[in-house]
Amino acid sequence: MIKIWLNLIAPSLVAGLLAAACQTVPLTGRSQLQLVSEQEELAMGLNSFQEVLHKEKLSQDARQNERVSRVGARIAAATGRTDYQWEFRLIEDDQQVNAFCLPGGKVAVYTGILPIARDDAGLAVIIGHEVAHAIARHGAERVSQQMVAEGATAAAVTLLGGSDPDRANLYAGLLGAGASVGVLLPYSRLQESEADRLGMIYMAKAGYDPRAARDLWLRMAESGAGKSKPPEILSTHPSDATRIRQIEARIPEALQYYRPR
């Protein structure tokens, strides 16, 4: 069944999409599918950031706000994206061990991750990773992949399901699950690993020792953050062990960019 789908749909679909929408990730050189324009992506990022700031409580801790802004500004400068309107906000939520960066350089750090960050270098690992997602346009890439997966699934269901709605629903479920586990989740894990790699380079360029990345993710694993994780094959992120191993392997590359301040 999958073979029929691949033979009938995939070749022409993939060829057309690659010709029209293939772009390259900075520094890593990886080719990626982009069906969303950068202008659309920036607009979505700004709207989402404004919604978050409207809903969340911003921290009033002047010292920690200054720290987030200072470290963030150094990472932002290291990316070379002077066209972004960078913003760095600290959200008061000690239960959220998290941070994010939306398209256009809209960065938020939750207070719950600061104890794990510990120092400026640890915070640089976190911000560098999130900023890397935005620079590499991972969000738009995920949307593009989802569009292709949904379109291909719909076409396959039409061909294979015919006029029988029960068969169509069955095929839709099987193909959707196959696309998720076989394509979308592996790409998500690839993006997370790529963000680790880019983030280490950006923090090194900003004058932070990239070896702090290994220490940060060891602390993250020990903290139990996200303890109820699914098996790696069903997860959007690499396992802690995989992530730490990959980071250790990439330290020599990042050190080539490191100039202590």
- DSSP, collapsed to helix, strand or coil, labels residue 225 as coil
C-alpha torsion 214→195→224→52, nearest 10: 140
> Per the structure block, which two tokens stand in for 134?
């935005």
Q: Residue 130 catalytic?
A: yes
- Strands (E) in the chain, as ranges, are 22-24, 31-33, 87-91, 99-102, 106-110
CA distance to 10, 215, 259, per residue, from 249 (Å): 35, 14, 20
C-alpha torsion 89→207→77→38, nearest 10: -80
Amino acid making up residue 153: T
Strands 106-110 vs 87-91: parallel, antiparallel or unpaired: parallel
As a whole number of angstroms, the distance between CA 254 and CA 258 comes to: 7
> Per the structure block, which two tokens stand in for 259?
């100039």
Active-site residue among 130, 141, 192, 194? Answer: 130
> Per the structure block, which two tokens stand in for 139?
């969000």
Catalytic residue set: 130
